[in-house]
Copies of this chain bind each other. A is one copy, B any other.
Amino acid sequence: MIAIVKHGAKKEQIDNLIDWFKKRGLETHLSVGEFTTIIGLIGDTSRVDIELIEGLDIIESVKRISEPFKSANRKFHPDDTVVDIGGIKIGGGNFQLIAGPCSVESEEQILEVARSVKASGATILRGGAFKPRTSPYAFQGLQSEGIDLMVKAGKTAGMPIVTEIMNTNHLPLFEEVDAIQVGARNMQNYELLKELGETGKPILLKRGLANTITELLMSAEYILAGGNKNVILCERGIRTFETYTRNTLDLAAVPVLKELTHLPVIVDPSHATGSAKLVKPMALAAAAAGADGIMIEVHTDRAGPACAPPPPRTPEQFDDVADRVRRIREVIS
């Protein structure tokens, strides 16, 4: 880490700051230039709060030179992590299609969707039981009943299941869940991440709406630091000024993450775009960008939608996407 000292800082102020760094166990290296003085910090800077130093009057800016994430860092773990979700491997060359409805609504619905997506080549079933909703008046999911239905549908179809958690108190309900999803809004709910780090369950961690790639990795680090090595990262769109799509899918995050970390990286085009017609082209683009998996919402409710967004609504549509994704995987291999 280097701290760039402001033009005009007094020697006494700089000396005080260096003393303060030394008390925190850091070695310092002072470099005085014509217009700029730089303090290099050597040692375990992952414990130093970069914002703290940046806030000081005499500091112009602080720049990390090594990444603040360790367990997630490919530099120290060059081999791909392969996460096993109920017998289905993801990462390290293993690509999976995760599909299912936004919300579990009824036994009939989830069983039909599970059967249908399995037939089209999906290998993991997704479906929400606890739903994070902007409005307290909106449908909040079937909750524990929804989890039971997911477990039943997964067993019936012979597919492992993934579903979202919103509260550490609900953990006992997730015993038969194969992979636990942390939604975008909870990406920095550190208390939740810490508790998930103490389970052995695969965790599907979604990127927050306005979180950087580094912050996503730091949230993964919370889980890894607790001893749980089974983390899958998910790009699902970031918030920008563009309003045509619900969010802006940042597909470059896929190759960036694949370089920075050994963890598997998947993409959710359904939530990112919020539009039925965009799921197919964005799923194909995600595959072309090198994702280890794609998570797509599939609905069989032909009468109308029960949860957003409803793309590839029929098994035929999903089938087509799945087939082309497989062929794109061949092109990039």
Contact = CB atoms under 8 A, between A and B. Distances in A.
Interface of A: 2, 4, 7, 16-17, 19-20, 23, 33, 35-36, 38, 42, 44, 46-49, 51-57, 63, 65-66, 68, 75, 132-139, 166-169, 185-186, 188-191, 194, 208-210, 212-215, 218, 221-222, 225-226, 238-246, 248-256, 259, 272-278, 281-282, 284-290, 303-311, 324, 327-328, 331-332
Nearest to A279: B55
A251 B247 CA distance: 12
Given A52-B309, A249-B252, A252-B281, 7 more contacts: A20-B304, A46-B138, A133-B190, A134-B188, A167-B191, A284-B289, A331-B331
Given A240-B238, A241-B240, A288 B277 contact: no
Contact of A288 (B242, B274, B285): B285
Given A16-B303, A186-B189, A36 B51 contact: no
A238 B248 CA distance: 10
A249 B251 contact: yes
Contacts of A248: 238, 240, 248, 250, 252
Given A135-B221, A167-B168, A285-B285, A274 B35 contact: no
Contacts of A4: 65
Given A20-B303, A57-B276, A305-B52, A75 B212 contact: no
Kindly report how many copies of this chain are found in the complex they form together: 4
A218 B135 contact: yes
A323 to B, nearest CB: 9
Contacts of A54: 246, 274-275, 308-309
A192 B141 CA distance: 17
26 contacts: A7-B75, A20-B303, A33-B65, A36-B66, A46-B135, A52-B305, A52-B306, A54-B309, A55-B308, A55-B310, A136-B226, A169-B191, A189-B189, A210-B210, A210-B241, A238-B241, A240-B240, A242-B253, A251-B251, A252-B272, A252-B278, A285-B288, A324-B331, A327-B331, A328-B328, A331-B331
Contact of A56 (B44, B246, B255, B310): B310
Contacts of A307: 49, 52
Contacts of A277: 57, 255, 259
A251 B248 CA distance: 8
Given A190-B166, A251-B285, A252-B245, A139 B47 contact: yes
A319 to B, nearest CB: 15
A252 B276 CA distance: 12
A288 to B, nearest CB: 4
A151 B33 CA distance: 46
B328 A49 contact: no
A308 B225 contact: no
Contacts of A138: 46-49
